[in-house]
Structure 1
Amino acid sequence: MYALNNCLNKNLCIKNITQRSYASKSKTIRDINYQYLQKSKVPTLHFQKSLPRLPIPELKKSSERYIRALRPLLTDDQFNEATKRTGTFVNNEGKVLQEKLIAKDKANKHTSYISDYWFDLYLRDRKPLPINYNPLIVFQNDTRQAYNNQLIRSTNLLISAVRFMESLRVQILEPAVFHMNPKKSNTPLFKTVTGMLPEAVSWYGAYLFKAFPLDMSQFVGLFGATRIPLLNKDKIFRDPNSRHVLVQKGGNFYIFNVFDSDGNLLSPSEMLANLNRIIDDNAPPAEYPLGILTCQDRNEWAKQRAHLEETGNKDVLNKIDSAIFNLVLDDEILGDSKHGLLKTYLHGDGLNRWFDKSFSVIVTGDGVAGINFEHSWGDGVAVLRFFEDIYAETTKKPFVHPDTKPASSNITVNKLDFKLDDKSRQFVEKAKKEYKEWYESLSIDYTLYEGLTKGACKKYEVSPDCVMQLGFQAAYHLLHGNFVGTYESCSTSAFKHGRTETMRPCTEKTKAFCEALHSNKASQGELSAMMQECSKYHSELVKQAAMGQGFDRHLFALMKIAEDNNLPRPAFFDSYEYNFLNKSILSTSTLSSPSVMGGGFGPVCTEGFGIGYSAFPDKLGAAVTSYKSHNNSSEYVEALNKSFTDITKIIST
């Protein structure tokens, strides 16, 4: 995919870097250390070839796990019926579909059995991207207030992002590896030994160090990429040689090259000068901000985009699509408003966004920065790695400082101009009205609970993740008196082309704990013992999911296999219990990192809650979204705080 993707070993990588920077004496010579964020001795994709393949679980085991996940959600009669229906499926259609899935998997050893189906699932969905799909992650502020200036922070983020991209393009970005014991394995010896091994066996060398390389196939989707709306199924566009960045301000679009004519990264002062030119542009906010069109139903937007292309805007749209990424400069001043922060990075008013880009870095008027990313191309693993790397550099070794002066050369900013007819203007006006009504229907709240910490959970020997999931179950039970389908995202990036698996945190054990907690009949000792059991089982379920031994993706793939082979759709997939379980009333996902101030996403169904959460060293945090017509996020947060307080009492006993 990349121009220099043939770097098969470290010597060739270094050779290509050298050629790129010093090929001609007539070219401008720049510091090689400035061009790349990392210069790994082990090539970026060194482990990719030998990554283990995502296993297809045994059908019998998947059915057993599925039945166990149903048990806390159904009445006895419903459960007995579900058990019979599942048994019928496993012994009949399921056997045939399992054989066909295994055969397909064996014929496609370059990928995983779920990868194509998962891309297809996202790209076929016609729901709008913001709120429904695009998540948000917000950076912690720089501890040095002067570096939180919008221009300074934007420039540093831009520089580090492009340096990350360049390291990736020439395959000298550090490979993603999960170290069981970083002090013992994340060492020069590890890199030397594994780097010397042939790609075909490199993973096994890492395994001997108790280190697990992660799939990096999604990283190609970060840069120069956009999801293009088409009727019935979208497509992902990628330009691996992109040289310009897209900047939005006031609903207007600007672009400029971040490389000079010799292919070198612009100097920090030149980057600063280009962004300064945009910030100082006195152009009024766009009367018809086209970014609002990316907030719509995908078929509707596909028709509108086709019209824009037919009326002379094809080249302008291509400049947006092919840009390295989108840098959004907002005028909003957030201050300490967490509500404002969540709204800004989750949806905004849509007037200064382009939700189709692979990701947008959004920087507010007071220098708060975060990312909103399109989800079809990849998952949080790739985005979080990028997020952490550029945060570390911009806060520890920034290239632009408060006293840096903008350069007077290499300022190549161009404002993009669209040709809009009356029909296109009507598209914008209609979308503005509809999107405003939609995002105002959201209920958003958050909690930062300081009574319980990650360390306290571990000291008590319970999983912090389990404690938070228990809080979510207890809060819902407190409000509604029942239990519902709950989704916790778990990465399977330890496997080639792994995506995610569902971990089902609502179990018989968590149900028993919540009922005992709210009955006021159990002693603290009994509740403590129940919590310990919940934690053990929770950890086992997480392990199963991470190792590709969940059941959700497997069953989904079997359903798709039936479609692929024009076989009758098994009644199993249209059953009450299957649909009830898969209606994720509580959809949860965690992002825990010192660089993350917060993260979140919208509810995945109208009756549900979207819960982005983190167990911080000094507190527990959760951002909660829902639709006002069905739920009140503030009421849920209040119940969640009470649940955390109850759990704290148990742990403190």
Structure 2
Amino acid sequence: MAEAHAAVAFQFTVTHEGIDFDINHEALKAVFESGRRSWVKKFRRFQNGMVNTTYPASPLSWLAVVTAVTACSLARLDPSMGMIDKLKENVLPVNYLGPAPTIYLSTVIFATLLWLGIIFTLRFILKRLLSYKGFMYEGRGKISLKTKIWGMLLRCFVTSKPRLFSYQNALPNLPLPPLQDTMRRYLLSVRGFLNDEEFERMELLVKDFEVGLGPRLQRYLKLKWWWSTNYVSDWWEEYVYLRGRDPIMVNSNYYGMDSIAMAPTYIQAARAANFTLSLLRFRREIERETLKPLIMQGMVPLCSYQYERLFNTTRIPGLESDTLVHHKDSKHIVVICRGRFYKLVFQVNATMLNPAELQKQFQWIIDDPSEPVDGEEHLPALTAGDRIPWALARQRFFTRGVNKISLRAIEMAAFIVVLDDEAQDYDVFPTPVKDNWNQNRMLDRFSHSLLAGNGHNRWFDKCFNLVIFKNGRMGVNAEHSLADAPVMAHLFEYAFGEDIMDIGYNDDGSCKGEVKATYAPPLRLKFELSEEVTAVIETSLQTAKKISDDLDFHLLVHNQFGKGAMKKCKVSPDAFIQMGMQLAYFRDAGKFNLTYEASMTRLFRDGRTETVRPCTISSCDFVRCMEDPSTTREQRLAAFRKACETHVTGYRDAMCGMGIDRHLFCLYVVSKYLNEESPFLQKVLSEPWRLSTSQTPHQQMNKLDISKHPEFISAGGGFGPVAHDGYGVSYIIAGEDVIFYHVSGNKSSGNTDSWRFAKGIAKANNDILALFQ
């Protein structure tokens, strides 16, 4: 009760002398500041909304149009061609307002309508310009006249200081490919690895689908295309991510690492403080929309909608489907340290704690000698295990009392900070050794820890976990349904730049600045965990440990050559890498297989990803040519160039909305809604991706100059294998001379070995480069 009395703004008592008021000025000041901040945020959202709604014009342009129309009217010129008079006579009450006010009001109404017409016209023109994708298919130095004219027109609309969501309303919708085109391209994509008999069966399935159920499904899908801004993204989020009932640890979440070659500090609390503040600066730029949207080639904006949920978001488990819950604001983070949970408030009375003050708060948590209560240490395992047991446990044990309060604090936090009690490190650019290639267990353990932890020290449902290890090394584990890796990489690049280049550290590794105020220590979150819920936790932990123990991981530092050597070969570095993996996989598995490469569709509104299929007829021909000892170097080189050209075309098609797999996926969803069975769609969507690959983008902001500071090079991140008997490979082209390959598999598959495959990738790359030497 004492805490409740201290929280009120004023109290009063009734005495024989009358009513006596006891006013708490500090509390009143806090109430005032809270209300002021709330209204400032509302005004800023309204202001940003007006700017985005009127883009490519501006709210001030309304005043210019009104002034111009009024000036013309005063000069006895009628720019409205009689519309102002019609408004005055037929719409406005002249007798009530009087002649003069009616004239001015009708002028303002017409000017506003004219202004809106100009805005929609400009936006239509911009949308049509952004719909042009011909520039994607033109090589450097071979720009057509049409593309040059398009570029000049587009530059008229691209402002020097756009807001984060300025272009959203002008981005074109993702196109719906014709059914026949998708069927044709699908058959081409599988011809390389299917034998004649298998391909003939597939051709029959395609023909039956084209003349039977396919056109009906396409009509329904076209209706969704007309109705929605993106016919794929909402279904993709729901059915691929949120409706999955398997654990999201390893199977869905992914991770990212910091710099590979430097350690700015070895003080855990200092690194946590600086990086937390860096992330919160990024969040502030998103809230204020001052973060510049990513612009491709300096002209074409990418969709920014995924940034909205990067912070203050959590995944809530459900029996049939999970849900994403995003909170507009949060003034605290939750810290997990040695099995205990703490609520750390980083903003007090509109003032953000400085790095030194945050370091003190983190250090208090590290030094806290208290022990976790029974079951608390393993509590995060609920988010690592199967979704249904977690959903049932949440409904039964976390909807009342202290459990509800503590869980709400976790779910409303801006993000999670994990102060890991283990130290992780890595050797810098290990030297290849014969028969013991790249033996770097430290990197493997580091990657494994970021992806899975120990099964109970990451809250996998949260938007992301910032993991700070005991020696100051760090990384991030991110939930996949709310944002894809390029968006998280953008956040990570920004925060790393702020951490190293702007905030910095003292010579002893501590945070700069002084502790200016004394704040209450972080609040220890409390849980009351019965034996029943503890049993559920332990079951989830066993599931998580089984997945974690089966994970076979290797991080290959490919430093023999990199992008620089590939560009000298005059081929796309991504195509070079993909062909190297095709060659390595054939040597590893003895056959070709369906291969997945993720590409973005953020050239379109609400775009996320599309699938590129690197295993093509041309790539298979190239691999066979490389493995045939009777072929000449010239024949192998010609086959390689053709395979790269085919791959680049497929990648461009995917980025431009002419991919295969998202279209087929949506047709399958429609068929399920109609209770129709399609043998073709069932066959396509049941095919395993035994080689799943993705490239992590590097230097999206150019905030860090890695040519001058190669120690800033990041190792990127990775994910788990998609198929049980397959590989997951994430790679990042870091500078001119280094490529990092994050290779994952399952020990229990019996057919895969991540170290063996990584070694095969390196050998395949060397064999390809030798063709040019």
Aligned counterpart for 1:293 among listed residues 357, 372, 382: 382
Structure 2 equivalent of residue 63 of structure 1: 183
Question: How many angstroms does 1:311 deviate by?
Answer: 5.8
Aligned counterpart for 2:759 among listed residues 632, 638, 641: 638
- Do 2:389 and 2:536's aligned partners in 1 also have CA atoms closer than 8 Å? no
Give CA-to-partner distance per residue, 1:320-353, whole Å, 9 cap, x none: 0010011111121112210111111110102211
Cα distance in 2 for residues equivalent to 1:384 and 1:162? 15
Structure 2 equivalent of residue 194 of structure 1: none
- 1:341 to 2:446 alignment: yes
Aligned counterpart for 1:267 among listed residues 354, 361, 365: 354
Aligned counterpart for 1:51 among listed residues 171, 176, 193: 171
Counterpart mapping for 1:453-602 below 5 A: 453-564=562-673, 566-575=674-683, 578-579=684-685, 582-593=687-698, 595-602=713-720
TM-score by length of 1: 0.86
- Do 2:579 and 2:644's aligned partners in 1 also have CA atoms closer than 8 Å? no
- Do 1:141 and 1:148's aligned partners in 2 also have CA atoms closer than 8 Å? no
Q: Which moved more, 1:65-74 or 1:438-447?
A: 438-447
Residues 146/116 of structure 1: CA separation in 2 closer, same or farther (3 Å cut): closer
Give CA-to-partner distance per residue, 1:260-299, whole Å, 9 cap, x none: 12x2322233222222211222234665221111111111
Counterpart mapping for 1:150-549 below 5 A: 150-178=268-296, 180=297, 185=298, 211-261=299-349, 263-284=350-371, 287-288=374-375, 289=377, 290-310=379-399, 312=401, 313-336=403-426, 337-398=442-503, 401=506, 402=509, 404=512, 405-549=514-658
Question: How many angstroms does 1:176 deviate by?
Answer: 2.4
- Do 2:594 and 2:691's aligned partners in 1 also have CA atoms closer than 8 Å? yes
What residue ranges of structure 1 are gaps of 5+ in the alignment? 14-39, 186-210
Structure 2 equivalent of residue 200 of structure 1: none
Taking only the aligned residue pairs, the percentage that are identical comes to: 30
- Do 2:52 and 2:165's aligned partners in 1 also have CA atoms closer than 8 Å? no
- Do 2:176 and 2:663's aligned partners in 1 also have CA atoms closer than 8 Å? yes
Question: How many angstroms does 1:550 deviate by?
Answer: 0.4
Q: Which moved more, 1:1-10 or 1:159-168?
A: 1-10
Give CA-to-partner distance per residue, 1:613-644, whole Å, 9 cap, x none: 12232122211111112122122222222212
Cα distance in 1 for residues equivalent to 2:760 and 2:266? 35
TM-score by length of 2: 0.73
Cα distance in 2 for residues equivalent to 1:644 and 1:83? 35
- Do 1:451 and 1:648's aligned partners in 2 also have CA atoms closer than 8 Å? no
- 1:103 to 2:190 alignment: no
Cα distance in 1 for residues equivalent to 2:621 and 2:697? 28
Question: How many angstroms does 1:460 deviate by?
Answer: 0.7
Query: The residue matched to 1:496 in structure 2 has which SS?
Result: coil
Cα distance in 1 for residues equivalent to 2:282 and 2:311? 10
Residues 141/10 of structure 1: CA separation in 2 closer, same or farther (3 Å cut): farther
Question: How many angstroms does 1:479 deviate by?
Answer: 2.0
Cα distance in 2 for residues equivalent to 1:176 and 1:411? 40
Aligned counterpart for 2:769 among listed residues 637, 648, 652: 648
Cα distance in 2 for residues equivalent to 1:553 and 1:518? 34
Q: Which has the higher contact order (CA 8 A, sep 6+)?
A: 1
Cα distance in 1 for residues equivalent to 2:515 and 2:420? 21
Cα distance in 1 for residues equivalent to 2:450 and 2:655? 29
Cα distance in 2 for residues equivalent to 1:374 and 1:436? 19
Cα distance in 2 for residues equivalent to 1:432 and 1:106? 46
Question: How many angstroms does 1:11 deviate by?
Answer: 12
- Do 2:698 and 2:733's aligned partners in 1 also have CA atoms closer than 8 Å? no
Opposite residue 315 of structure 1, the aligned amino acid is I
Opposite residue 346 of structure 2, the aligned amino acid is V
RMSD of aligned residue pairs (Cα, Å): 2.1
Residues 349/46 of structure 1: CA separation in 2 closer, same or farther (3 Å cut): same
- Do 1:51 and 1:494's aligned partners in 2 also have CA atoms closer than 8 Å? yes
- Do 1:247 and 1:329's aligned partners in 2 also have CA atoms closer than 8 Å? yes
Structure with greater Cα Rg = 2
Residues 146/599 of structure 1: CA separation in 2 closer, same or farther (3 Å cut): closer
Give CA-to-partner distance per residue, 1:50-100, whole Å, 9 cap, x none: 011111111111111100111012110110121121122122211111111
Q: Which moved more, 1:462-471 or 1:404-413?
A: 404-413
Question: How many angstroms does 1:430 deviate by?
Answer: 2.5
Give CA-to-partner distance per residue, 1:135-164, whole Å, 9 cap, x none: 111111574x45353222211111111111
Question: How many angstroms does 1:123 deviate by?
Answer: 0.6
Question: How many angstroms does 1:369 deviate by?
Answer: 1.4
- Do 1:136 and 1:346's aligned partners in 2 also have CA atoms closer than 8 Å? yes
Structure 2 equivalent of residue 82 of structure 1: 202
Residues 41/215 of structure 1: CA separation in 2 closer, same or farther (3 Å cut): same
- Do 2:374 and 2:529's aligned partners in 1 also have CA atoms closer than 8 Å? no
Cα distance in 2 for residues equivalent to 1:640 and 1:516? 17
Opposite residue 378 of structure 1, the aligned amino acid is A
Structure 2 equivalent of residue 199 of structure 1: none
Aligned counterpart for 1:127 among listed residues 222, 225, 246: 246
Residues 161/302 of structure 1: CA separation in 2 closer, same or farther (3 Å cut): same
Cα distance in 2 for residues equivalent to 1:148 and 1:42? 38
Cα distance in 1 for residues equivalent to 2:453 and 2:249? 9
Structure 1 equivalent of residue 101 of structure 2: none
Question: How many angstroms does 1:169 deviate by?
Answer: 1.0
Residues 11/41 of structure 1: CA separation in 2 closer, same or farther (3 Å cut): farther
Opposite residue 45 of structure 2, the aligned amino acid is N
The alignment covers a number of residue pairs equal to 588
Residues 142/516 of structure 1: CA separation in 2 closer, same or farther (3 Å cut): closer
Opposite residue 613 of structure 1, the aligned amino acid is Y
Cα distance in 1 for residues equivalent to 2:612 and 2:205? 22
Cα distance in 1 for residues equivalent to 2:204 and 2:641? 32
Cα distance in 2 for residues equivalent to 1:306 and 1:75? 51
Question: How many angstroms does 1:318 deviate by?
Answer: 0.8
Query: The residue matched to 1:613 in structure 2 has which SS?
Result: strand
Structure 1 equivalent of residue 704 of structure 2: none
Structure 2 equivalent of residue 203 of structure 1: none
Residues 267/461 of structure 1: CA separation in 2 closer, same or farther (3 Å cut): same
Query: The residue matched to 1:502 in structure 2 has which SS?
Result: strand
Question: How many angstroms does 1:253 deviate by?
Answer: 0.9
Opposite residue 54 of structure 1, the aligned amino acid is L
Cα distance in 2 for residues equivalent to 1:505 and 1:358? 31
Give CA-to-partner distance per residue, 1:345-364, whole Å, 9 cap, x none: 11010221100001111111
Structure 1 equivalent of residue 114 of structure 2: none
Query: The residue matched to 1:440 in structure 2 has which SS?
Result: helix
Structure 1 equivalent of residue 255 of structure 2: 136
Query: The residue matched to 1:607 in structure 2 has which SS?
Result: coil
Cα distance in 1 for residues equivalent to 2:220 and 2:425? 56
- Do 2:419 and 2:467's aligned partners in 1 also have CA atoms closer than 8 Å? yes
Cα distance in 1 for residues equivalent to 2:385 and 2:308? 26
Give CA-to-partner distance per residue, 1:516-575, whole Å, 9 cap, x none: 2122222122111111111111111110001111010001111112223x2412221123
Question: How many angstroms does 1:308 deviate by?
Answer: 2.2
Query: The residue matched to 1:147 in structure 2 has which SS?
Result: coil
Query: The residue matched to 1:611 in structure 2 has which SS?
Result: strand
